[in-house]
Chains A and B, each alone.
Chain A
């Protein structure tokens, strides 16, 4: 099946710094990518939807200036957590939908962010 890869899988950063997480679709073109946040033992919370070449659509309550999303190509989307704080520590997961009209969404492996 289709493969979506996230990098890094784990990152530790200092409070106040910014960290970037990459999401790549390895064997298909993804016109739409999604970013989720997952708290321990909870379901996934959709943060934003990004379409290649346009601005991301953020869910209510998600700060777009804090969680910068860029979808510059059909195979890459990035999430940058700016001025990170310990409460931003979480598991971030991206997913991608194939651009051929397919309705299956594939997920990356997730990225653990710890802000110290």
Chain B
């Protein structure tokens, strides 16, 4: 079945540091890929998505590129802020978009 493997956390960075959170997936067909962010005590918010190979999703300075050859969708940000501290979930939706398969989540803490 489909699966998503995320870089284990927690990740602690200083403000303005470069962020990479690795995500790889296993799926049949052509899934859509997502990054969701969860702030403390809240639900999940869609951060960005990509629906086909070589697509780049971007939002709020975050980027991720759908790499079919490496089955990856790594999340990057050039300069993190304290307000980026949250849990980040990589997810995929199968071609029928029936449901999401989540990674385990990566806790990011950004220190001032």
Q: Which residues of A contact B (CB under 8 A)?
A: 1, 6, 32, 34, 41-44, 46, 49, 93, 95, 97, 101-110, 112
Contacts and interface: CB of A to CB of B under 8 A. Distances in A.
Contacts of B103: 43
Given A106-B46, A110-B43, A49 B99 contact: yes
B46 A32 contact: no
A3 to B, nearest CB: 11
Given A1-B46, A6-B43, A110-B43, A105 B100 contact: yes
Contacts of B97: 97, 101-103, 105
A-B interface, 6 closest residue pairs, ranked by CB to CB distance from nearest: A103-B97, A110-B43, A107-B44, A109-B43, A107-B43, A43-B104
Given A101-B97, A105-B97, A112-B41, 18 more contacts: A6-B43, A32-B98, A43-B104, A93-B44, A95-B100, A97-B97, A103-B51, A103-B93, A103-B97, A104-B46, A104-B49, A105-B34, A105-B93, A105-B100, A107-B43, A107-B44, A107-B45, A110-B41
Contacts of B104: 42-43
B99 A109 contact: no
Contacts of A103: 32, 51, 93, 97
B99 A43 contact: no
B62 interface: no
Contact of A43 (B34, B98, B102): B102
Q: Chain B interface residue count: which class? A: 20 to 34
A103 B99 CA distance: 9
A55 B100 CA distance: 20
B42 interface: yes
